[in-house]
Amino acid sequence: MSGSFLIQALVFMAAAIIFVPVAKRLGLSSVLGYLIGGIIIGPFVLGFIGSEGADIMHTAEFGVVLMLFLIGLELDPKKLWEMRRAIAGLGSLQVVTTSVLVIVVFIFAGYSWQLAVPVALAFAMSSTAIALQTLKEKRILNTAAGEASFSVLLFQDIAVIPILAFLPLIEVSGITAQSSHTQSLLSGQPAWLQIITIIAAVAALLLAGKYLVVPFLRFVSRVALRELFIASALFIVIGVAALMILVGLSPALGTFLAGVVLANSEFRHELESDIEPFKGILLGLFFMSVGATINFSLISEDPFFILALAMAVVVIKFAVLFAVGKRFRLSSDQNFIFSFGLSQIGEFAFVILSFSNQLGIISSSDSSKMMAVTAITMLTTPILMLINQKLIDPRFGVKEIEDDIEPDKIDVRHSVIIAGFGHFGSTIGRLLRANGIEAVILDNDSDRVDLLRKIGFKVYYGDATRLDLLKSAGAEEARLLIAAIDSPEVNYQLISTVKSNFPQLKIMARARNRYDAYELLEMDVNNVYRETLYTAVHLGVDALTELGFRRYTALRQGQKFIKYDERALRKLAARRHDKQEYILSVREEIELQEQVLQNDLQQSMETTDSSWDSEKVRKVLGSD
């Protein structure tokens, strides 16, 4: 490890630490922060990073590979099926129309179709990182615009796979292919053989994912060592990527498929949260190296061309998106958000362009120019969104009329997280599910997770007290967290993590008993449910009935008992730290409770339920 490596690492990190927060503060996405940081440290501004930027970019491309793995993990087949119309309709219309228009423009401008096709496909992509980030930050992921955007991005993510698979088939002459890093088994083979190999490799991957990887992960998870699991996760991703490179396929494609295969397994959340930090860092590095490799001398040769092209692409993309949105009946204000939000060229363009460059379809200088165009369009999105918000929306946006006459929609998607799915948690889960609410369930017993999944519950394996796992379970968007873990200590730990990291999340906590409840009340949890209280009172009410009480009277006594007891609990929780006083006050409280109940028994015949008590009414009215 040479000193220059450390210095380089320092430069990149410093740039990230300085520029990403600045971009965030200015309301721009973090992707832009990385890009600008890269530009500034690159050879054309400060020159901290020279030609090695390109090498770093190749390494950092692995961030894109990891991102595709994570996107694959998000795509469980059921969700895909639910969104099939939006994805296939909106998405395909957008990609096809945009590509065709861009191809037409390029061919008119005198370029060859071999260049026009990959560039057009690259330009049809929008940035998942920028668009989703923006929608999330504006909290509009669940609106019509948010869902439409997500569908289109999803279609593009999927479309990348065939695009990357078929790019090698474009015949090129004139430009000699750059020597690629690895020699694949297939180089030099005829095209039909390549296609067959690709299909076979994909099939093998799907089978292996299901029958090899999941049992392997199950085996590792039994060891219960976290670093071992992380290592296994990385092992799978890197392994798949290496395998794909060996057969001459895109590693991004392979890991994406691996992700899809694992999306349905109980390890999904665990994998997500383990890979996420690596992806984040590498992707940041990738964006920075893209910034650093933008060749400004090329741009300065013909700045007008680059800028004009960037503007033209944004206009085309916006127009196509707007037309597609209209066709799918988005209201105009939603359509503006949707169309502006996706009007940039996405990070996949970098992948497609550099891949095409490696294949020798596009020359290095063309590829640099197109990357510069891509980066510039990324810069425009936050500005366009701001213009939309300040200028367009207030004037042209049709505000949807608030119509409370229609039944309220209950958001059933991921609004509840249940931590702990033993007898207690699973009862809650069943009740919610019977009412059409699918909770995200976290449990750390992998055998139980397996069993419950077979019955059809959506249960994820993992330690619920871990911040990253909570995050990938959707704690940032969820409304309710039900803390139902068996061990009170683990429950406390979970609650304090949630309290400090997701203050918006309402907590409902299981308490084993009175003392557990004190602890929880002290942690400022208001919704505390003692598992010993309600069942015991229920039994008590039945016992009273057995002894000759009328059922309704016994029931009302039970209701009142719970009410008094809850009140007493809160009073005692405040006092219990002074031990002496605690002991005293428990006795006091019990006496009080007894007294209260004694009174109550008479009262319920006299004051409280007075209208029903003919004796009492007669007495008050003074007549017989």
Please, are residues 389 and 202 in contact by the beta-carbon 8 Å criterion?
no
The one segment of 79-87, 284-292, 462-470, 609-617 that binds other proteins by CB under 8 A? 609-617
Measured from the CB atom, the residue of 3 and 436 that comes closer to other proteins is 436
Q: Residue 426 Cβ, how far from other proteins at the closest point, in Å?
A: 24
As a whole number of angstroms, the distance between CA 57 and CA 198 comes to 26
Cβ neighbors of 77 (< 8 A, separation 6 or more) are 260, 263, 264
Q: Report the nearest approach of other proteins to the CB of residue 330 (Å).
A: 23
CB 218 within 8 A of CB 47: no
Alpha helices, H only, 550-613:
551-575, 579-603
Q: Which is nearer to other proteins, 179 or 614 (CB)?
A: 614
* 620 near other proteins, rule: CB under 8 A: yes
Q: Which is nearer to other proteins, 471 or 560 (CB)?
A: 560
**Phi, psi for 419 (deg, rounded to 5):** -100, 120
Q: Which of 408, 546, 615, 624 binds other proteins (CB under 8 A)?
A: 408
Q: How far is the CB of 556 from other proteins (least distance, A)?
A: 7
Site for other proteins in 387-406 (CB under 8 A): 403-405
Structure tokens at 180: 């690629």
Taking CB under 8 A as the rule, does residue 617 contact other proteins? Answer: yes
* CB of 23 vs other proteins, minimal distance in Å: 41
DSSP string spanning 40-77? Answer: HHSTTTT-SS-THHHHHHHHHHHHHHHHHHHHHHH--H
Query: Which positions ≥6 away from 394 have C-beta within 8 Å?
Result: none
* Options 128-136, 220-228, 508-516, 553-561: segment touching other proteins (CB under 8 A): 553-561
Cβ-based nearer residue to other proteins, 161 or 568: 568
Classify 139 in phi/psi space as left (phi over 0), alpha (psi -120 to 50) or beta: left
Strands 480-483 and 459-461: unpaired
If binding is defined by CB under 8 A, does position 297 make contact with other proteins? Answer: no
**Binding segment toward other proteins, per CB under 8 A, in 94-102, 220-228, 449-457, 602-610:** 602-610
| Residue 406 C-beta: closest distance to other proteins, Å | 8
Looking at the Cβ atoms of 185 and 431, the one nearer to other proteins is 431
d(CA 566, CA 576): 15
Residue 616 in contact with other proteins, rule: CB under 8 A: yes
Q: Which of 499, 556, 570, 575 binds other proteins (CB under 8 A)?
A: 556
- What amino acid is encoded at 161 in this protein? I
**Closest CB 604 distance from other proteins, rounded Å:** 11
- Cα distances (Å, whole numbers) of residue 612 to 557, 563, 599: 16, 22, 18
611 lines the binding site for other proteins (CB under 8 A): yes
* Residue with smaller CB distance to other proteins, 227 or 402: 402
Instruction: Report the residue number, 169 or 620, with the smaller CB distance to other proteins.
Output: 620
Q: Per rule CB under 8 A, is residue 608 in the interface with other proteins?
A: yes
CA distance 435 to 410: 11
Per the CB < 8 A criterion, the answer to whether 186 and 244 are in contact is no
- Under 8 Å between Cβ of 160 and 351: yes
With a CB cutoff of 8 Å and minimum separation 6, the contacts of 220 are 228, 229, 232
Least Å from the CB of residue 521 to other proteins:
21
Binding status of residue 607 toward other proteins by CB under 8 A? yes
- 171 or 402: CB nearest other proteins: 402
Q: Which is nearer to other proteins, 529 or 582 (CB)?
A: 529
CB of 498 to other proteins, least distance (A): 27
Angle at CA of residue 52, ends 34 and 21, nearest 5°: 15
Instruction: List helix spans (H) across 224-343.
Output: 226-246, 251-263, 268-293, 296-301, 303-327, 332-341
Give the count of residues interacting with other proteins (CB under 8 A): 20
Smallest distance from other proteins to CB 84, Å: 30
Q: Is 403 left (phi over 0), alpha (psi -120 to 50) or beta?
A: beta
- Of 300, 501, 599, 610, the one binding other proteins (CB under 8 A) is 610
Based on DSSP, count helices (H) and strands (E) in the chain, helices before strands: 29, 6
User: Of residues 218, 448, 560, 575, which one binds other proteins by CB under 8 A?
Assistant: 560
Q: Which stretch binds other proteins (CB under 8 A): 43-51, 86-94, 298-306, 605-613?
A: 605-613
Q: Which one among 563, 567, 571, 587 touches other proteins, defined by CB under 8 A? A: 563
- What's the min distance (Å) between Cβ of 572 and other proteins? 21
CB 135 within 8 A of CB 146: yes
Minimal distance in Å, beta carbon 408 to other proteins? Answer: 6
Give me the residues that bind other proteins (CB under 8 A), please.
Answer: 403-405, 407-408, 556, 559-560, 563, 607-612, 616-617, 620-622
